[in-house]
Amino acid sequence: MKLWFFLLFGFLSVLAWAQTFPVERLEIVGNTHISTQEILGKLGFKEGDVVDREKVLAGAKALEEMGYFAQVTPEVSLEEDKVVVRYRLVEYPKIEDIVILGVPEEPRGGKTLWSWIQIWIGQLLNPPRVYAERVREILAERGIKPGEVLNAKKLQEGLQAVLEEYQKKDLGTVQVSEVIPEAKLVIRFEELPVVAHEFRGLSTISQEEIRDLITVPLGEVGRISQIRESLQRLSRSVYVSEAKVVPELAPGGVKLVWELAERVLLPEPTSISGISLVGVTLLPTEKARALLGPIPQGVATNAAVLRALRPLFDYYQREGYFLVDFVGEGVENGVLRVRVREGEVGRIEVKGNTRTAEWVILRVLGLRPGQILSEARLAVAQQSLMALGYFSEVLLTPSWEEEKVLLTVEVKELEKLGSIQGSMSFSPEAGGLVGNLTYSQKNLFGTAQDISLTLSRGLTGSGGTTWSLTYVGRSFPVFTQVELDFYRKEEEERLTIGGKAQVSYPVADYLNLTLGFTAEGTTKLSGEALPPRNALSLGVVFDDRDSPFFPRAGQRAQISLEKAGTFAPGVEYLSARAEVSRFWPFDLGDYRCALAMRALGRLGWDLPAEYMFSLGGVDSVRGAKKITTDRMFLLNAEFRVELAQGAWFAPFFDFGVDLQSGTVKAAPGMEVAVNLGGMFVRLSASWPNDREPTWVPAFEFGMSPMF
């Protein structure tokens, strides 16, 4: 009788798994830290529902994906005439401690300041490292920390983030070798040295010739920069058409396997007497032939042909035509025909532009089908798009598409390009509303046009209204930039109404010619009219900075002249301006940094008092009292530390001298700058030399970049 009972029970269990059945009781067994209610909420069904086998298994999978359980076992049984669905769980423990092995602890200084300075200098001079404390921080950011239940899913994400941190530090051959998921969580990392290089895919080229192109040293942890440099050297070698690297574990470290595709121009050894070049357009045919190396007598191999073509290939590479390719087209009458693909652009594809019109990107890009793509043209195109100020990233990827190059332009647009800010209040003494309002919008309708409006009333003491309206267009057919500026402003005892128009015309890579005209009418607040100002300006601007937001490389230089009067009534003077800004990249731990320096000189002849240059203040020597002069020199130095995208902190030193009187102004200090939604704000704190010595700094606000 007992045997029949077990057979009947087994039959019913199998029957239950084979068809739909009601869930009359639902049980969770084995959970300690994760609540039953939370677990039941993940199943997708509840007691009283009708389910089938697939739904029960889907519930088990959902519990596994929670990450808290090392094992999930579903059961369906008939107990006391009820269908019971039960999940047996093996739960991960609550973390009590985390032990990181294979990663050094961050060095700490002693009781003296000098010991801390030595450590800081050592971190700057030595290759970057990942320390155990940083690993714990990364894991904690993903919920892997003492007091939390171990979650395998979050742990996997955390370990991947740690490996990405290693990659940021330029360390590529690192692995997680051991994880013990217990209350005392043990994680071991291994920084594996490169112990060997292996080359695959070569047939006629010797490994020694290829080995000379590899810059990754043996016996050291593989650095990503060195691996990338080696891949670039391989891809720019006449011997290789494709290259990639695959790391493989080896005794004592890791072996880098270089999988190569040898460039094949002569599939079989053949007797040839010469090489005929087809498709050469960037240099005279005679010069191209003169660059060919000797061809061995008798039967030639593919390697011999490549060696003969190497001087020509290297010439293209030196000139920046990095996409050059040679294609063999067979031997005819003893002459090998080689077609040269120089890198002609066939098609341009734009991706990622959700707001910016495609025609704007193509126009600013400056590249078009039919052009031969070079490194210089590619760099100029990328810098031109970044200079718009609409994109946080611009990626230009060229690739061969049949016989021509497909250039893929991928942009990542900034989320906020507009802002409106200000405050207003009512003041009977000022005759009504008092306050200011600022509105700015970049990339209006996606057409690379910017507009900004500022309005203030009752802030100058006169009760009048001042305003400015600025328009900048960057997608015109001929000019790189067109700018219009109209304003009404009060300065001291003067009221000025005027406008300015300026255009920029490209004359060379990174170099623009600027032409501007300014017309102003000025009256004293007492009502007395002053001579008008009509001025022409002419200048050249060189700008190859890598980013308009936080430049870390490149420079911006400007030389300009401004002439007022002579050709129109009003004041008459001549002024000159020369300015150079230079940027150098630095890394301070995890922070992107840049050393920024600017030198500015200004000279004026016959300048009226109201048009003299200001020395001192938020745009020259921060915190210093303003003086006016017609001859000045200014030097600014900043060490900028990027806090977030569009924001940085910078200790600085400003130095300025009035070349006429010899007055010197200097100010050390620090500044925080934020660029958000088209609005730029700077707050500086400085200790200038023309104020009484005190620990309290002079604070100033600026509404535009220093340089």
Q: Which residues pair with 270 in a beta bridge?
A: 300
Residue 251 has pLDDT above 60, yes or no: yes
Question: How many residues are there in the chain?
Answer: 707
d(CA 59, CA 64): 9
pTM of the model: 0.73
* pLDDT of amino acid 459: 52
Q: What is the mean pLDDT of residues 672-690?
A: 84
CATH 3.30.450.20 fits 345-413, yes or no: no
* pLDDT of amino acid 563: 94
CATH of range 2-91; options 3.30.470.20, 3.10.20.310, 3.40.50.300, 3.40.190.10: 3.10.20.310
* pLDDT of amino acid 255: 94
Gyration radius (Cα) of the chain, Å: 35
Domain 97-191 CATH class label: alpha beta
What the block records as the tokens of 272 is: 């040839």
What the block records as the tokens of 35 is: 């609540």
Confidence bin at 428 (pLDDT 50/70/90)? low
Q: What is the mean pLDDT of residues 617-638?
A: 94
Answer yes or no: are the C-beta atoms of 94 and 147 closer than 8 Å.
yes
6-15, 101-110, 434-443, 571-580: which range is least confident on average? 6-15
Query: DSSP letter string over 324-344?
Result: -EEEEEEEETTEEEEEEE--B
Q: What is residue 549's DSSP assignment? A: S
CA angle, corner 211, sides to 205 and 217, nearest 5? 170
376-385, 415-424, 435-444: which range is least confident on average? 415-424
Mutual orientation of helices 358-365 and 375-387 as an angle, nearest 10°?
A: 130
Long-range contacts of 325-329 (CB under 8 A, 24+ apart): 325/241, 325/400, 326/238, 326/263, 326/265, 327/265, 328/264, 328/265, 328/266, 328/267, 329/278
The answer for residues whose C-beta is within 8 angstroms of residue 475's C-beta and 6 or more apart is 359, 360, 363, 364, 447, 448, 449
Domain 270-341 sits in which CATH superfamily? membrane protein fhac (3.10.20.310)
Q: What is the largest CA-CA distance in the chain?
A: 123
d(CA 149, CA 183): 9
Residue 399 has pLDDT above 70, yes or no: yes
Q: pLDDT digit string (tens) for 53-110? A: 899 999 999 999 999 999 999 999 888 888 899 999 999 999 999 999 998 887 776 6
Residue 276 has pLDDT above 80, yes or no: yes
d(CA 649, CA 636): 15
Query: What average pLDDT does the chain have?
Result: 88
CATH 3.10.20.310 fits 194-262, yes or no: yes
CATH topology agreement for domains 2-91 and 345-413? yes
Question: Which amino acid appears at position 433 of this protein?
Answer: L
Q: pLDDT digit string (tens) for 539-597? A: 999 998 888 888 988 899 999 999 998 887 889 999 999 999 999 998 776 688 999 99
* Dihedral angle, C-alpha 413, 416, 417, 422, nearest 10 °: -170
Task: For the domain covering 437-702, report its CATH number.
Answer: 2.40.160.50
Residue 427 has pLDDT above 80, yes or no: no
CB atoms closer than 10 angstroms to residue 1: 4
Strands 613-615 and 591-605, by their bridges, are unpaired
Per-domain boundaries in the chain: 2-91, 97-191, 194-262, 270-341, 345-413, 437-702
d(CA 268, CA 270): 6
Closest CA to 388 of 474, 309, 446: 474
Answer yes or no: are the C-beta atoms of 172 and 224 closer than 8 Å.
yes
